[in-house]
Amino acid sequence: MTQAEVEGSLLGRATRVASVFAKYGLRETRGSADPIEIRARRLRDALEELGPTFAKLGQILSTRPDLLPAEFIIELSSLQDDVAPLTEAEVVQVMEEELGVPWEDVFASIDPEPLAAGTIGQVHKATLESGERVVVKVQRPGARDEIMRDLGLLRLFAEKTESREALRRIVDLPAVVEHLSNSLQRELDFEQEAANIDQMREVLQPFSRLDAPGVHHRFTTRRLLVLELIPGGPVREAPQGPERKEAAGQLLEAFYRQILTDGFFHADPHPGNLLWSDGTIYFLDLGMVGEVPPDVRERVLLLLLAFWQEDVPFLAEILLLLAPELPEELDLDAFRDEIGELLAEYRHKSLSEIQLGPIMQGLTEIASRHGVRLPAALALVGKALAQMQLTAAELDPELDPFSVVGGFVGKNLLTRVRTSADPKRIFYEFQKLEVRANALVEAIERIAGARPGARMQIDVKGTTPLEDTIRRAARALSLAIAAGSCLVAAGSTAAAHVQSWIPVTLGVVGGVLTILLLVGLRRR
């Protein structure tokens, strides 16, 4: 395609998009009297009329309550992939293009009726030449070109409207487009989805009632995904009994682990993406996943615990720590008051009635109203937690989410104690601490002039020389760090019931260092 053809295609599509938005009154106007619910419904209708790509964009936007008002999130959540299914000839064409051989060389048969037809892919049952039943997902021809074209238009629009303050107060469009682009490009790569499935199966290994279908990597490409066929039905139709309740508890606990330990979670775990088969819940459709950085994971856990303790000031503090940057003018009292109001909504509810997903979404919306931009991962966590807990509650209405959190925290702490009780790790951490303490002493002595290099010189008449004071303080600090580390390590190893000489030795060393520290302080 020539440059002129590309520009003509973009221009034609831009004209179409502009005319549809104008039809539904979605123009940037000041002082619009229309209620926000009406404007949200018009946006949903416009995206549906613009076709599958824009419907997909709306679905992804519905997972970001930090970027759009709640009324828009509710409307966009109802968007559906209303697309015509591919013909059998189109499915076969994609398969043969990806496999490089006639489809009969790999498959014995393909069911002509699709299991599902979406914006990006279509799913069919099939049988391999070996006789094994599988599920085949093929990418719609032209899906990548359509999505890239529409994303290009959105980027241009975001660039041209970035300076319009009125629009920025409603939505951070550049952030929206960046998020949509990353999400859609990941979903267009079926090899990435296969890698997500492998990683999820590894994460779910400790849970006997959770799994994901295996991948046939030999036949999987960027546009073709082949999975083992799991016979089963909707998770909501799981038979009553102990297996159902056990699976509900594992589902919630596994999701806490995905978010708070592994930092990798299913970002769209609605009931349609969960399958019940022979006492096990299978995770399906891992094209959309979320990732949580290590620093965010620990603070998310603190968020949940602070909410449990109804500690409004600490909850507000954690939210502000999560933000990469804070607004110049932040009304901290109003910020805390809104968080307090959110807590008050749940104060008189039983633990089983508290839904963690809406709590997270509510905190995200409060932060957004005050100009506090939280990490995108936090919004995805809230959305996914809401979906996951609804499913777990359907499986077991008596399930207490905070008891599951407590169990998860207990197991996590026990794992850390056991890890810290490893003699090799204790030796490593002690040596690392010693190196850092020595480096600190050297740095302070260098500043004071006791070592070669640039130094700070201050003359203070009638007092103890500054160099001696700093040197003594640095040595006392290093003794305190070393003594504290030995005593903590002694306690951890004693609790883990390792060989008795290890905690005894660490305790004696810690005690000696503590005595030396106290003697030195007493002399001064």
Tokens of 218: 């030999």
Q: By C-alpha distance, which of 391, 29, 67 is closest to 236? A: 391
Helix, strand or coil, per DSSP, at residue 135: strand
Torsions phi, psi of 172, nearest 5? -85, 85
Check the CA dihedral 49-50-51-57 and report its sign: negative
Active site residue 82: no
| Contact of 219 with 106, CB cutoff 8 Å | yes
Alpha helix (H) residue ranges in 225-375: 242-257, 294-308, 312-322, 332-346, 356-369
The residue assigned the tokens 């090799």 is: 424
1 burial via Cβ count (<10 Å: 0-12, 13-18, 19+): exposed
- Check 268, 311, 422, 468 and give the catalytic one: 268
Distance CA 32, CA 138 (A): 44
Helix, strand or coil, per DSSP, at residue 137: strand
The residue assigned the tokens 């073709």 is: 224
Distance CA 274, CA 233 (A): 9
| Contact of 79 with 86, CB cutoff 8 Å | no
Torsions phi, psi of 212, nearest 5? -140, 150
| Contact of 227 with 214, CB cutoff 8 Å | yes
- State the distance between the two ends of the chain, measured CA to CA, in whole angstroms: 83
Q: By C-alpha distance, which of 66, 323, 78, 81 is closest to 176? A: 66
Contacts of residue 214, Cβ cutoff 8 Å, sequence gap at least 6: 201, 227, 228
Alpha helix (H) residue ranges in 104-211: 143-161, 165-170, 173-187, 190-203
Q: Please give the angle made by the CA atoms of 407, 409 and 410, to the nearest 5 degrees.
A: 65
Show which residues are catalytic.
Answer: 268
